[in-house]
Structures are given as C-alpha cells and as structure tokens.
Amino acid sequence: MSWNDLALRVVLVIIIPFVGIFLGLLYKGFDRKITAMMQSRIGPPWRQPFRDVSKLFMKENIIPDNAVPWIFNGAPIAALVAAFVALVYLPLGPFEPVMEGYGDLILVLYLLAIPAVAMAFGGLASGSPYATVGAQRELVLMMSYEFPLAIAAVTIAWRYGSFSLGVISSDPVWNLVGSMGAIGLVLVLTTMVAVLPGELSKVPFDQAEAETELAGGILVEYSGRNLGIFYLAEVVKMIVVGTLMIALFFPHNISDWYSFGGPEFAGLVVADTLLDVGFFLLKLLIIIFSSVSLIRVAFSRFQIDRASYFYWVPMTIIGLLGTFLVVLEGVI
C-alpha cells in the first residue's frame, strides 16, 4: 500500500463516523415523523434528534453514588466506538469498504454485539435496580437474536464462498441462485428483517428500556454527555445494520444497469456515483421504514420470555430452513 492510499484511508476513517452520525440522526428524525403520521399525530420535526443530542451534551453529567465510575463512563464510549468501527468495514453505496481486506463479516457481527454488551455493563455498573433488570433483559435479548442473525450472515457468506463484505457486495446474491435458492434467501431475509428491531431495541423488542415498566430501565441513571453518547451509538448502529442488510441482500446500484457517462473524478463517473449514492440512501430509508417504523406501529411490546422465544424458535427455524434450501441447491 502506497503512502497516498494510506493517507486516504486515514482521512476516510475520520470522515465516515461523522457521516454515520449525520445520517443516523437524520433517519431517526424521519422515523419519528413517519411513525407519528401513521399514528395520526403531528410528531416532532425531522431535525429534533439533532436538537436532542446538542441539548444532552450541554447538560450536567451525573454519576450515581453507587455506580462504578470507570465502567459507567466507559460503557457509552465503547458502544459508540464499536459502531464507528463497524461502519468503516461496510460498503457505503457505490464505495467499497474503507477497511476491505483487513476484516470480514464475522468481525462486523462481533462489533454489532458490543453496544448491547456495553449498555448492559453500564446498567449493571449504575447501581440502580431498574437498570439491573434492564441489563438482564438486554443480555437475554442479545443472546436470542444473535443466533438468527448469524444464520443469515453465514448463509450468504457460504453462497459466495467468502466472508469479505467487499466480495459479497460486488454481485447481488440473487444472481447466484435458482428458484429453490431464491425461496431460501427470502426466508433468510425474513429472519434478518425480524432481527433488526431487536438489534436496535425498538418496539416490540425494547424490554431493556421499557419506560412504562422500568422508568427507562437500562439508561435510567444516565444523563448529560453519557446519555448523548449512547444516543449517538444507537443512531449510528441503525445505519450499520441497515447498511449490512443492503450489502448482504440489495447491493444493486443504478450504474449496474445503466451508465449516464459524463465527467469523471478519482476514477468514478460523477453522475453515476451521485445517483448510486441517492439510491443507497433510498434503500436505507425503505429498510428503516419496513423493519423499524412499520413494526413499531403494528406491534406492542412483547414480554421478555416471548421475545426470546420468538427469536430462538420460529425465527431460528425459518432461518435454518432457508439455509437448508440454499445449501441443498448448491449441492445439487
């Protein structure tokens, strides 16, 4: 690797987290607005998440007397850093992963688990009984949805014969399967859609926070800067899981079908690149709407045992059945 390439990677690693924060706050605003419209409410303006974060960072950061300070303060930072690192391993629209060749799909799955673990440790370290119950629920839920998520990811990786997200996103997986494999992929995609609200702790899988039961649960003792960092970790993770689904199932770009030509910059056709970026943002919005907003409006909060059962039994069975069909077609 030349010094120019190394310098470019360093610059992108610095820029991409800020892009993730901006997109995460923007899409969270759209999510809240769309949800309000479906519930016949006016709802907050789309820029409300930006206001919320700026207000949190201006407020006092309170540490409970019974807390373990270094864990309590370190948990939100660990959650945000893990989300940032996962983002640089993912392809963003027409752009290849910044860290391609230095990690793989398995690493991203591990990084996605860190924010949930960090929240649980932060809740346990706060000394609050409400947060302790919330932390227990968070760990139970994480152990439930991680298995179906791993099934979906490994199925796609097996079909490509590679765990590299750069390889996986280079050609849509639908082009590599026949009718039986396509049915299997639809089942695996269904599993992935069901996992997303659990990954993001959204209704009906928000048992760890559950304001009406636990007064905020896992985050009840957090305030000020620490709560703001957790807020940012949540919105960046939303972009990460949405981008991961796009990379696994819908990596299509408009330029794959038609090129408009015109001037080039850094080896990329400007018009095609802009349209591909817009198409990526549209796909991300559709995924967030269908996997988060729509489900949040359609369902109420599950009990923790039912949420765990939902992932361990029906979703795992559906995912394994999809994997079986994909593998069977590949063997035949």
Q: Which residue ranges of the chain lie beneath pLDDT 70?
A: 1-4, 101-103, 211-216, 260-269
User: Do the Cβ atoms of 210 and 217 come closer than 8 Å?
Assistant: yes
pLDDT in the model for residue 285: 94
Q: How far is CA 316 from CA 59, 116, 231, 304, 311, in A?
A: 43, 20, 30, 17, 6
Residue 191 CA to residue 146 CA, distance in Å, equals 11
Looking at every residue in the chain, the average pLDDT score rounds to 88
pLDDT in the model for residue 17: 93
**What pTM was computed for the model?**
0.93
Sign of dihedral through CA atoms 188, 191, 197, 200? negative
pLDDT in the model for residue 228: 95
Sign of dihedral through CA atoms 142, 144, 147, 150? negative
User: Do the Cβ atoms of 74 and 225 come closer than 8 Å?
Assistant: no
Domain ranges of the chain: 3-331
Sign of dihedral through CA atoms 146, 149, 155, 161? negative
The tens digit of pLDDT for each residue in 127-175 reads: 888 888 889 889 999 999 999 999 999 999 999 888 888 888 888 899 8
- Give the angle 100-115-80 at the CA atoms, nearest 5°: 70
